[in-house]
Amino acid sequence: MDVLPSYSDRWQSTLHWQPSDRQQQNFQLLYDAILTANQQVNLTRITTPEDFWEKHLWDSLQGVAPWLSEGSSASALKVVDVGTGGGFPGLPVALVFPHWAIALLDATRKKLAALETVCEGLGIANVSFLPQRAEQVAHQPTHREAYNLALLRAVGPVNTCAEYALPLLTLGGQAILYRGQWSAEEEAGLTAILPRLGGKMVEVRSQTTPITQGVRHNVILTKTERTPDKFPRLPGIPSKTPLV
Ligand code: SAH
């Protein structure tokens, strides 16, 4: 197996944080396990050590940068990673915040089954698995308005992401939408629909990836009012016809 770079200086200069030796070992174990699982199930196309470091580890964790400096003194959060795919951003977050409970949600059963094997092998105990569509999970009483934090990366149009995420959040909970480019049009379109979902935009944080200088934006939402029961709409509708 290939050795992951540690890039301590890059963690430090960008996120003002560095993984401990133990966390670095866990990142390596995660990398090895994901690549092994990837031979059976298509989890990710990002496989070289440098790419995995930047696009999976660094990128997953930059979204939760405000909590990194608090380390284990950060309050315990219930987190849901909607459309986790190969486990991103959820798994790196689970490794760095062992006192957070992370639900990995994805409609593709095969991917979640592979992630379950990965987590068992690594002894990652603070994750749970929701092999269903977000539109279904969000109407189940145990999951509706149950999460302090929702993470969504590469799960489609921003208004679709908002419709998946806001019903799952507690009042005062936050959603972090991991985006690449971000435009004034997208922002206007999102701002227009958020009140219907009980949400509000808090801020947009921009980042540059430390190796290839890629553009990243994190769009932070918060839930200010209860989401009406009709959201999210039936499976498939939020992505086919995003709210306008
Ligand atoms: N977040 C990961 C994967 C992105 S690919 C990453 O950034 O690497 C998008 C994933 O979202 C796919 O695995 C797909 O199965 C899942 N997905 C898309 N729409 C979904 C929905 N409505 N409910 C649950 N999972 C969904």
Q: What is the pLDDT of residues 148-186, one digit of tens each?
A: 999 999 999 999 999 999 999 999 999 999 999 999 999
The greatest distance separating any two alpha carbons of the chain, rounded to the nearest whole angstrom, comes to: 49
Neighbours of 174 (CB within 10 A): 20
Q: Two tokens at 151?
A: 């993470």
CB of residue 237 inside a 6 A radius of ligand 1 = no
User: What residue has token string 């709409």?
Assistant: 233
Q: What stretches of the chain adopt beta strand conformation (E)?
A: 78-82, 101-105, 127-130, 147-153, 169-179, 199-208, 215-223
Q: Two tokens at 101?
A: 């409970």
pLDDT at 226: 98
pLDDT at 72: 67
CB of residue 53 inside a 6 A radius of ligand 1 = no
Q: β-strands 169-179, 215-223: how paired?
A: antiparallel
Q: Nearest CA to 129 among 141, 140, 119?
A: 119
Ligand 1 centroid to residue 17 C-alpha, Å: 28
Q: β-strands 147-153, 199-208: how paired?
A: unpaired
**Residues shown for the chain:** 244
Ligand 1 centroid to residue 113 C-alpha, Å: 14
Q: What is the mean pLDDT of residues 21-49?
A: 97
Q: What is the DSSP letter of 136?
A: H
CB of residue 55 inside a 6 A radius of ligand 1 = no
CB of residue 177 inside a 6 A radius of ligand 1 = no
**For a pocket test of ligand 1, which of 46, 102, 106 has the largest count of ligand atoms closer than 8 A to its C-beta?**
106
CA distance 205 to 14: 13
Q: What is the DSSP letter of 198?
A: T
Against a cut of 0.85, is the pTM above it?
yes
Q: Nearest CA to 131 among 95, 69, 84, 189?
A: 84
Q: Which residues pair with 103 in a beta bridge?
A: 80, 128
The CATH superfamily of 8-240 is Vaccinia Virus protein VP39 (3.40.50.150)
CA distance 9 to 49: 17
Atom of ligand 1 nearest to the CA of 132: 24
pLDDT at 70: 84
CB of residue 56 inside a 6 A radius of ligand 1 = no
CB of residue 41 inside a 6 A radius of ligand 1 = no
Residue 50: pLDDT over 90: yes
Give, for 122, the enclosing helix (H) or strand (E).
helix 109-122
CB of residue 90 inside a 6 A radius of ligand 1 = no
Confidence of residue 69 (pLDDT cuts 50, 70, 90): confident
pLDDT digits (tens, 9 = 90+) for 105-133: 999 999 999 999 999 999 999 999 999 99
Residue 73: pLDDT over 80: no
Contact 34, 185 (CB under 8 A): no
